Amino acid sequence: MSRSFGWLAALGAVLVLCGLFGLAYTAFATLTSVLLFGWLLLIGGFVGLLHAVQSRDTNFFWLALVVAALNLAAGVVVIRRPDGTAAALTMFAALLFLTGGVFRLFGGLVVRGPQTLSTVVQGAVGILLGVLVLANWPESSRYVLGFFFSLMLLLDGLGLMAGGIGGRRVVGMVTDARTEADAQAEARREAVAGAGPESAASAGPPNDPMVEHSTKQEQGDRNRSPE
């Protein structure tokens, strides 16, 4: 189990390095993330096509076939035109930032509660990000997706490293405690074995409550008997 946590920490370290590299070269990270998205669409399209062929006798055949065809077509377009795809996805992300920020801002102002301040701040930050991305679009499409993709890799890697290192520490503590308990038990067994039968004989037979009670009762009967 300790080795498994070690591999988990190693995977986290690799993701952290990839995230740092992506933050240093955001344009390359953007291109990589877009191409990865395109290949995922292609793979999903092929899998969906196989599923549609297997379910050709059901009522969902045409729906599965259409979805698979759309995934295949989108994957081909994304792989052949990564720059245009990055620009479109950046525009979509900016609109999401804007709409989400507006809803959070007005929701925090209208519905007052203990988290009103944090909700308003999140809404303002979302609106600011959306405005900044749209103001520099389409130039911003070269680094926005790569920045967020690299940041996600960095945070996921840090989480995996923390989980792996913490898991190894817990396993080590449990192993040490078990080893110490086994050593104490072995020491007790050696002490009992080294004492020998002499100590057990010198200690005398164990006290039996029933024997003591019967002895006391006999002594009481003798004292009450007439002389």
Residue 215 falls within a domain, yes or no? no
**pLDDT of 54-78, one tens digit each?**
877 777 788 888 888 999 999 899 8
The pLDDT of residue 11: 86
Domain count within the chain: 1
Q: What is the mean pLDDT of the chain?
A: 79
The pLDDT of residue 222: 56
Question: Could you tell me which residue, 217 or 148, shows the higher pLDDT?
Answer: 148
Residue 213 falls within a domain, yes or no? no
**pLDDT of 2-58, one tens digit each?**
677 778 888 888 888 988 998 888 888 888 888 998 999 999 989 888 888 887 777
Give me the amino acid identity at 32: T
Residue 74 falls within a domain, yes or no? yes
Neighbours of 176 (CB within 10 A): 10
Question: What percentage of residues in the chain have a pLDDT greater than 70?
Answer: 83
Residue 95 falls within a domain, yes or no? no
Residue 66 falls within a domain, yes or no? yes
Residue 53 falls within a domain, yes or no? yes
CA atoms lying within 13 Å on the CB side of residue 103: 6
Q: In sequence order, what are the residues at sequence separation of 6 or more whose Cβ sits closer than 8 angstroms to the Cβ of residue 148?
A: 93
Residue-number span of the structural domain to which 59 is assigned: 2-90+143-182
Residues 154, 152: Cα–Cα separation, whole Å: 5
Question: Could you tell me which residue, 5 or 127, shows the higher pLDDT?
Answer: 127
Question: Could you tell me which residue, 176 or 137, shows the higher pLDDT?
Answer: 137
φ/ψ region of 204 (left if φ > 0, alpha if ψ in -120 to 50, else beta) reads: left
The pLDDT of residue 100: 87
Write out the DSSP string of 203-218.
T-SPP-HHHHHHHHHH
Residue 176 falls within a domain, yes or no? yes
Peptide bond into 209 cis (omega under 30): no
Residue 200 has pLDDT above 50, yes or no: no
Least confident of 95-104, 156-165, 198-207: 198-207
Residue 121 falls within a domain, yes or no? no
